Amino acid sequence: MWQRLHLVSSGIRSYRDLKVWKTGMNLVLESYRLTARFPRNETFGLTSQIRRAAVSIPANIAEGHGRLHRGDYLRSLSVAIGSVQELETEVTLARHLGYITAGEVLLITQMADEVGRMLGALTRRLRRPSLTPNP
């Protein structure tokens, strides 16, 4: 519970206050916009995979923020980082298949890179010894 107390003192009361969560949600919306044009035969294939990976990013940020232990939070952030990389891979495949343009790949990868940097910074902050509760 001590992580939440520290984050509340810094103005973070909910995962919805985290910039990384908000940016992740924008990435989800962009992913849905792009995949809406995919061929119908990809509905249960690449469309589903891209959407699932994108949704997993802010979902794991939210889930981790709700955990009581720092280790659980860090594991959830690690899953979110993996989902960022999964999303980038799937979007690159969609480009190779001709479903999206190079410009659209660039937009998604730039957004994903930004989320990845934020996740890395949050992870480093949570690993700092200064977040350890006083005995």
- What is the rounded average pLDDT of the residues 15-40? 95
Q: Compute the mean pLDDT over every residue in the chain, rounded to the nearest whole number.
A: 89
pLDDT of residue 60: 97
Place 129 in a pLDDT band, splitting at 50, 70 and 90.
confident
Can you give the pTM of this predicted structure?
Answer: 0.86
pLDDT digits 0-9 by tens, 100-111: 999 999 999 999
- Domains of the chain, residue spans: 18-126
DSSP the chain: -HHHHHHHHTT--SGGG-HHHHHHHHHHHHHHHHHTTS-GGGTTTHHHHHHHHHHHHHHHHHHHHT-SSHHHHHHHHHHHHHHHHHHHHHHHHHHHTTSS-HHHHHHHHHHHHHHHHHHHHHHHHHHSGGGSPP-
18-126: CATH topology is de novo design (two linked rop proteins) (1.20.1440)
